[in-house]
């Protein structure tokens, strides 16, 4: 986790921008421009809509990355948004990751993979690449713990080998996360607390020079009390905190997830930053695509700076 | 689940072939042939190895599909094996799914996705496609329940809309699955039993004409007793049973996961079928690629027929 922590210190900003484009978050003039271009250029009609959307998403992401790369340490593309487009979306995802890395950003691939043994080892190529070539351009990935350590160990090995990291789901930000994660166990704890102990244990041989292991945890901003308790319970586990902004989390609600040095966590905001342009009165659907992207960029930068400043105040 | 059950009845065979290629399961002459071809044809050196492997995997899959399509109802490609190659692997995955569907096979995409709200809705495009185009060519996908119903409902909606299905992880086949799934709850049950009840409930509005809902369950062949108990506990839930063969499951150990009519489950075998050629004495690394693929095909068909016959005996 050292590279991420260094990047956070360097920017003095423990926040990450979620690159989760949808056809509502990318301005209509940008979507439309690529729809026209695709129709002119693509030979067959197969997946015309997906190809056009993927091209629009990439330009949107690039505008945001260019706007924030010098004030945020990391980005977190959510691969589901890209998978929605099929293979064209996957190309856009890896291009986005590669471009973000080229701008010096630490890339957290929010892929939530989880499988067993040889299958988990195959997924771990997200971190190690294939036969010497990087194929995903991610510095860390998110992982689901439901299958136990068989699903985690191959990622831990890959992380060590490639100097990369992982974040394991412990307590997610959504309402129904309680259905399984909060179940009370016979020994008195909750399922997510048991998972927390497993994560702390899985990471123990990979603790870096800031005291945090390569096995991070996903802990939703919407659970401030549990988050603060988990901070105590998992002293060597760095937190990725989703749920800020649109989902209801605030700088105050996440403050308890940081350690006494103001480190130990990175907070994600997606819609609050990449969709900030939607509150800009200068926007209209009749803008040129370039002007729309300019508004996206200006508003994303302002929102990212605002989030950084709010976190600085809350952690001061 | 009606389409899958019909396909099983049609072939009188409740088994599914796992299409999980790796560089050890694809014969060396096939891997080598595409490595040479890629070197000659691909313009840049970027991802040469991955592009070649993806091409070899596709030819391997096609040979297996052609060899078994008339005796098995379904195939289950494990997307991790393809993600290991990056975007080139994803292209191979969707081409494999599309080819299998063109041969009349029901395709279970073993993707184990799981996320929340709008993100789960994005993943659900695996089932619905994008703006009218199918982009993944899957008839069902596997899903991880750790995030609760927020992660399931968008898939259920998509499944209904597209006449497709899903299989939710309940009790996986791997040894460490017990670390979370078998935790004892304060109310006396186990985590996986609670998940089983959730799955039965999630499916209840989608029960088809054979009495099974669109929300299936993944129940590992390595847990015969729990599997039989789950069969009683989940009367409207169809089971996808991995872990047969290489992982230790037998026709006897899965028999209890079927209902009294011999329906209610489909059993997966991967290495036992697609790697059966490795026990053929006629194989050698000096074979021509076409001859190696012919051996793959002959042995896969024999192994698939053998598995079918063993299941028929066990269920008689």
* Interface contact flag, A50 B133, Cβ < 8 Å: yes
- How does pLDDT run across A104-129, given as a tens digit for each residue? 999 999 999 999 888 999 999 999 99
- Give the nearest chain A residue to B111 (CA atoms): A113
Q: Are strands B215-219 and B239-241 parallel, antiparallel or unpaired?
A: parallel
Q: Which residues of A touch B129 (CB under 8 A)?
A: 86
- How does pLDDT run across B143-169, given as a tens digit for each residue? 999 989 988 999 999 999 999 999 999
Q: Check residue B45 and give its pLDDT.
A: 65
Confidence band (pLDDT; 50, 70, 90) for B44?
low
Tell whether B179 lies on the interface with A, counting CB pairs under 8 A.
yes
- Cα–Cα distance measured from residue B251 to residue B245, given in angstroms and rounded to the nearest whole number: 9
Q: Check residue B245 and give its pLDDT.
A: 83
% of residues, chain A, pLDDT over 70: 99
Q: Which whole number is the average pLDDT over B93-114?
A: 97
Confidence band (pLDDT; 50, 70, 90) for A2?
very high
Q: Are A267 and A238 in contact (CB under 8 A)?
A: no
% of residues, chain B, pLDDT over 90: 85
Closest alpha carbon to A210 in A266, A127, A171, A129: A266
Q: Is the per-residue pLDDT at A38 higher than 80? A: no
ipTM: 0.94
- How does pLDDT run across B208-242, given as a tens digit for each residue? 999 999 999 999 988 899 999 999 999 999 999 99
Burial of B81 (0-12, 13-18, 19+ CB in 10 A): buried
Which overall architecture, per CATH, does domain A2-315 show?
Alpha-Beta Barrel (3.20)
- How does pLDDT run across A148-157, given as a tens digit for each residue? 998 899 999 9
Q: Is the per-residue pLDDT at A43 higher than 70? A: no
Tell whether A147 lies on the interface with B, counting CB pairs under 8 A.
yes
- How does pLDDT run across B240-285, given as a tens digit for each residue? 999 898 778 899 999 999 999 999 999 999 999 999 999 999 999 9
- Enumerate the active-site residues of A: 112
Q: Check residue A44 and give its pLDDT.
A: 65
* Interface contact flag, B180 A116, Cβ < 8 Å: no
- Cα–Cα distance measured from residue B183 to residue B172, given in angstroms and rounded to the nearest whole number: 14
Interface of A with B in 73-92 (CB under 8 A): 78, 80-81, 83-91
Residue B163 — φ and ψ, nearest 5°? 50, 55
- Cα–Cα distance measured from residue A310 to residue A254, given in angstroms and rounded to the nearest whole number: 11
- Cα–Cα distance measured from residue B61 to residue A117, given in angstroms and rounded to the nearest whole number: 22
Segments making up each domain of chain B, as ranges: 2-315
- How does pLDDT run across B11-31, given as a tens digit for each residue? 999 999 999 999 999 999 999
Confidence band (pLDDT; 50, 70, 90) for A45?
low
């Amino acid at each position: 986790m050292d590279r991420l922590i260094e990047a956070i210190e360097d920017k003095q900003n423990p926040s990450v921008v979620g690159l989760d484009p949808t056809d509502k978050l990318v301005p209509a003039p940008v979507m439309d421009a690529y729809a026209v271009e695709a129709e002119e250029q693509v030979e067959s009609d197969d997946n015309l809509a997906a190809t056009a959307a993927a091209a629009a998403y990439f330009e949107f992401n690039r505008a945001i990355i260019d706007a924030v790369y010098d004030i945020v340490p990391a980005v977190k593309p959510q691969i589901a948004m890209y998978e929605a487009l099929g293979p064209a979306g996957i190309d856009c995802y890896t291009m986005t990751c590669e471009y973000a890395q080229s701008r010096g950003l630490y890339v957290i691939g929010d892929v939530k993979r989880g499988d067993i043994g040889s299958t988990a080892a195959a997924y771990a190529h997200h971190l190690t690449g294939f036969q010497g070539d990087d194929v995903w351009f991610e510095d860390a990935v998110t992982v689901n713990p439901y299958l136990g350590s068989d699903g985690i160990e191959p990622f831990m090995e890959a992380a060590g080998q490639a100097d990369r990291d992982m974040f394991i789901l412990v307590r997610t930000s959504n309402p129904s996360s309680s259905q399984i994660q909060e179940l009370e166990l016979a020994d008195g704890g909750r399922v997510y607390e048991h998972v927390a102990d497993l994560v702390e244990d899985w990471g123990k041989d990979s603790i870096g020079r800031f005291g945090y292991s390569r096995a991070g945890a996903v802990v939703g901003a919407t659970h401030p009390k549990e988050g603060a308790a988990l901070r105590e319970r998992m002293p060597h586990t760095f937190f990725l905190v989703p749920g800020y902004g649109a989902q209801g989390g605030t700088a105050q609600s996440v403050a308890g997830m940081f350690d006494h040095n103001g480190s130990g966590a990175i907070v994600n905001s997606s819609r609050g930053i990449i969709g900030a342009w939607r509150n800009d009165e200068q926007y209209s659907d009749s803008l040129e695509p370039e002007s729309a992207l300019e508004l996206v960029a200006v508003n994303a930068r302002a929102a990212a700076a605002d989030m950084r400043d709010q976190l600085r105040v809350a952690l001061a």
